Every structure is written in structure tokens, then in C-alpha cells.
Amino acid sequence: MIIALSAIFLLSYAAIALEHPLHVNKSATALIGAGLLWTVYVLFSGGDIHTMVHDELGHTLIEVGQIVFFLMGAMTIVELIDIHNGFDIITKRIKTTKSSTLLFQIGVATFFLSAVLDNLATTIVMCSLISKLLGKKEDRLLFAGLIVICANAGGAWSPIGDVTTTMLWVADKISALNVIYEVFLPSIVAAIIPLYFVTNSLKGQGVEPPKTDVGVARHAETTEKERNVIFYCGIGALIGVPIFKTITHLPPFLGVMFGLGFLWLITDLLHKGKKESEKAQFSLARALSKIDMSSIIFFIGILLAVATLEHSKILPELAKWLDETLGNTTLVIMLIGLMSSLVDNVPMVAASIKMFPMDLHPKDSYLWQFLAFCAGTGGSILIIGSAAGLAAMGMQKINFFWYVKKISVLALVGYIAGALTYVALSPLFGH
């Protein structure tokens, strides 16, 4: 069974990577792969274990559903801002005509915003923003690649910035203040090195805006009041999600749905005096219709596929084998970070939490803090290695091999430099 599951996953992974040469949509491949993996898993498990597999699938569905609902809610909020031309508030304030300066500004903003929101919501917001600022597709792809790196790096040092860091925090492996204190500088290094190289390569290049005013061409005209209200309420709703989670300890998807409900109410009140035909242009239904459902379906397929590797014990056993083979905590955690670029970092961290006992590695120890950094930033090396990468891939139509060619090496260099920074600083943290 293990061989069959591994083979199916690798073939599915290869088909996703070769989407353009094969002319097969990656979403279809992800769904087929997920269906085959679960079918093989249940058939090879035996009759007595079918109930357990069904329970595992139910548990996986809950986890996937929460992530998908969060993604849909965040994307809908962003689209509501967009159809009200809310991003004009930012784009009109950006006066620079230099690509290098613009990229640096967006990279820094992404890094810090992802710590306050989370890397997924931040990526969605920033990818929408660059569509308003940049007319050339190549520029948008390059900026999106750096947004993924900066979002993942920014999320790694915050207990609410990345789902893996949140998992370690909730599992009581790390404390909020300690992860900020210890992982902040390595995360800056992981983001600033790729940002430095790319901004240098763009020196002398100007910003080429979209040939048409996208906000006006695609959407109905809005008043300054409408733009301001929806923009600030929408961003406030996204910022409120981690606050909601911290106070209530409820899942983030409920927070984003809560915020979406308020934004829906505000939208209805804002346009209540208009004709039905005019209100329809700014409705939630229109915002929902603009969401890229293909990327969401791809997300569902990937998460379902990876879950079989976790439930079949492939990932935990792999982590255990690495620990026994290498015998070096630093190398093991760095490899787990590298593997999170191939396989979603959530099950990798989940496996690691179960693998390393607390009596050997107590709360806030070297292993857990280093894992928070590596799992968070390692996912940037490949476009499918993180939720932020998957969101950018769907929104900007990023080709897998384009990302490998243009971004992966930069992300890897930043990852290694950040990891070495953490190792060098660890004595100062008492490790």
C-alpha cells in the first residue's frame, strides 16, 4: 500500500508540475489524485479498518473545509473591495515610477502585514494590489513570487501569521513572545536576501501600469465615501480575524465569515437608496462570481491528497527515519523545512509534533522554535509548498516551472541564510 500511495502521489505531483506541457488543468489532476489515493488507502486497509478510514476522511474534510471557507471568505472580502474600487486608495498614493522601489515597498509591507493578518490573507490582498499597479504579466509574476517569500517569512515569526506556527503555539510547544523574539531576525534574513537580489536586478526599470484604468474599466464608478468605507472595513475585517481567534479560540474561518457578514451588511446599507440594477454591481453575489473557483478546487484536491500520506503514516515514518539516519536535530529540521516545499507544511509539522517527545524537547526549546522558522519559510521554495503559494498560483496564473526557474533558488538561498542565522543566534537564546 505504501508503495502504491507514494507512486500515485508522485505521479499526481508530476502531472501538476507539467500542467502546461500536458495541457491538463492542475485542478483536475489534484482531484483525480486525491480520489485515487483515498480509494487505494481504503481498499488496502482491510474490512475491519474501513470505519477508521472513514473517520479519518471525516476529520480531514473538517480541516480542509475550514481552510477552504477561510480562503473563500478572504477572497470574497478582497473582491468586494475591488468592485468598489477600494484599492485605488493605495494605488493613487504610490507615486514611485521605479520597479525596484515599488517591489521593496510591497515586500516590506507584505512581511509585516502577514504577521498581523496571516500569510494567506496577505498574499490574496497583495496579489490583488499588484494587478492594479503592473501592466506587464512578467512583472506581476515576479512580484507575486516575492510576495510569497515575504508573506511566508513574515508569518513564521508570529504565532498568528502562519498556520504551522499557530499549530505549534496551540500545541503549547512555543510561546508567543519567545517565537517573536527568536525567529524575527532569521525571518528578516530569509525575506531580505531574495528581495535584495531582485530589486537590484530591476534597477533602472520603470513601472508600467495597466494600459487601461482597471478599476474604472471593469467596475462601476464609486464615490470616495463608498471606496473608503468598504476598503477600511474590509481590511479591518481581515485584521480582526487573528484578534477574533485569540479572544474566542474559535477557528479562523469563522472569524473571516463573521467579518464578511458585517461587510455584507455595510454594503447593503451603503447602496440601499440605489436601483436594484445598480446595487447588483456591488453585491456580494457579484464578488463571489469573481472568485477563481479552479484554484479553490485545486487547493481542496492537494490537501485531500496530502492527508492520505499523513493518515497512512508515510509522513511520520519518514520524519522518524530522518531523525534516526541523520542524528542531528538541526539537519533534521532543515530537511523537514525543505520537504515542506514538496508536501504541505501542515502535515509535516503535525507529524513532527507527534514525533518529538516533550521530555526531550520542552516548550520553547531549540527544536520547536527552529521548526517554526523552517516549516514557515521552507514552503516558499516551491510554489505548491504553502497556502500563500497556492493562492498566488491561482490568482496570477503562475507556472510551476517558471517559479522554479525564477524564484526557487532565491527562496532557497534566503531559507538557508535564515536558518544559519538562527543557529548562530541560538546561544543568545539560551539553547
186-244 residue pLDDT tens: 999 999 999 999 999 888 788 887 775 444 444 667 888 888 899 899 888 888 887 88
The whole-number pLDDT of residue 328 equals: 84
What pLDDT score does 347 carry? 63
Q: How far apart are CA 40 and CA 37, in angstroms?
A: 5
Residue 256 C-alpha cell reads as 473571516
Q: Mean pLDDT across the stretch 60-74? A: 83
Q: DSSP for 202-235, please give it.
A: TTTPBP---SS-HHHHHS----HHHHHHHHHHHH
DSSP 3-state assignment of 98? strand
Q: What share of the chain is helix, strand, coil (3-state, %, to 5)?
A: 80, 0, 20
Quote the pLDDT of residue 215.
41
What's the burial of 113, exposed, middle or buried (CB within 10 Å: 0-12/13-18/19+)? Answer: buried
Find the mean pLDDT for residues 14-43. Answer: 85
Say if CB 126 and CB 109 are below 8 A apart: yes
Q: For the chain, what percent of residues have pLDDT higher than 70?
A: 94
Report pLDDT for 70.
80
Place of cell 538557508: 416
What pTM was estimated for this model as a whole?
A: 0.74
| Backbone phi and psi for residue 288, each to the nearest 5 degrees, phi listed first | -65, -35
- Report long-range pairs for 255-258 (Cβ below 8 Å, ≥24 apart): 256/69, 256/70, 256/73, 256/74, 256/77, 256/121, 257/69, 257/73
Residue 308's SS3 state is helix
Q: CA triplet 318, 322, 323: central angle to 5 degrees? A: 120
- Cα separation, 351 vs 315, in Å, equals 7
Query: What is the predicted pLDDT for the residue at 185?
Result: 96
Cα angle for residues 185, 186, 189 (degrees, 5° grid): 90
In which band, very low, low, confident or very high, does the pLDDT at 32 lie, cut at 50, 70 and 90? very high
**Whether 160 contacts 65, CB under 8 Å:** no
As a whole number of angstroms, the distance between CA 33 and CA 202 comes to 39
Query: What integer pLDDT is reported at residue 320 of this predicted model?
Result: 74
Query: Which of 121-130, 262-271, 342-351 has the largest mean confidence?
Result: 262-271
- What local confidence, expressed as pLDDT, does residue 214 receive? 43
pLDDT recorded at residue 143:
93
pLDDT at residue number 340: 81
- 297 contacts 30 by C-beta, under 8 angstroms: yes
The predicted structure's pLDDT at residue 220: 66
pLDDT at 217: 45
Q: Residue 81 above 60 pLDDT?
A: yes
From 11-25, 126-140, 403-417, the region with the lowest mean pLDDT:
11-25
State the average pLDDT over residues 32-45.
88
Q: Tell me how far apart the alpha carbons of residues 375 and 385 are, in angstroms, rounded to a whole number.
A: 10
pLDDT, tens digit (0-9, with 9 covering 90-100), for 93-148: 777 778 889 999 999 989 998 887 778 878 888 888 888 888 888 889 999 999 99
- Bridge partners of 98, per DSSP, are 206
Domain positions in the chain are 2-429
pLDDT, average across residues 329-357: 78
Residue 212 is predicted with a pLDDT of 58
- DSSP letter at 134 equals -
Alpha helices in 46-118 (DSSP H): 50-83, 88-91, 99-116
Q: What is the mean pLDDT of residues 46-61?
A: 77
What is the crossing angle of helices 137-156 and 119-133, to 10°? 160
The burial class, CB within 10 Å (0-12 / 13-18 / 19+), for 315 is: buried
pLDDT, mean over the chain: 84
> Quick check: 393 and 358 in contact, CB under 8 A?
no
